[in-house]
Amino acid sequence: MISQEHAIREKWNLRHADAEGPGQVAAVLVNNLYLLPSEGRALDLACGRGANALLLARSGLAVAAWDISDVAINALQATAEAQHLAIDVQVRDVLARPPEPESFDVILVSHFLERNLADSLVDALRPGGLLFYQTFAHSCLTGEGPKNPAFRLGRNELLALFSSLQLVYYRENEALGNIALGLRDLALFIGQKPATGKQAADVL
């Protein structure tokens, strides 16, 4: 019998095999690069062919990039090598093996929605660490993204899922104003894990 993990891998392998290049960098990252720490460990979770992992590595962070698709991970490995960037790539089912507690200073999730992982992502941040999250919202003005509403965020859902983080940035425009402009159908969130008592005192 084919396992669910195998079926998901095969589905995504086909999509990645048909695609070219590392994909699109997430607006939540590229528009807020100045918020990144100057050093530390970053994770691109469900990285696909790794546009965000490459950008995080170029920003000076030690980057891990995980995806269930070996086709995507092999493509990212080849791009990273061609660009002389060291990225710790791994074929990994993040539902079966989420990141370990307090293991990353930055976690980036782009266009991947697994609500059950929210607590693990918060746990995996080190104190003071940042979560960058961007995925499709419930509004569907552009026709892009999943058709199944279960795979799209509800209104303000990232704020609820990550309410234990300090809010740094949030954007969800829906149909407001001139819909020919702006970032439509997406929710963008950045949150920070509160620093420990000692770290907070050190800053003062």
Order of strands, edge to edge, in the sheet holding 87-91?
87-91, 62-67, 41-45, 104-110, 125-136, 186-192, 166-171
Minimum CB separation of residue 146 from ligand SAM in Å reads 9
Candidate list 68, 80, 165, 190; residue touching ligand SAM; CB under 6 A: 68
Please report whether residue 69 would count as binding ligand SAM according to CB under 6 A.
Answer: yes
Candidate list 79, 110, 139, 173; residue touching ligand SAM; CB under 6 A: 110
Minimum CB separation of residue 204 from ligand SAM in Å reads 37
Contact between residue 93 and residue 67 where contact means Cβ atoms under 8 Å apart? no
Minimum CB separation of residue 92 from ligand SAM in Å reads 6
Nearest residue (CB) to ligand SAM, 69 versus 139: 69
Which residues contact ligand SAM (rule: CB under 6 A)? 8, 12, 23, 26, 46-48, 51, 67-69, 72, 93-95, 110-112
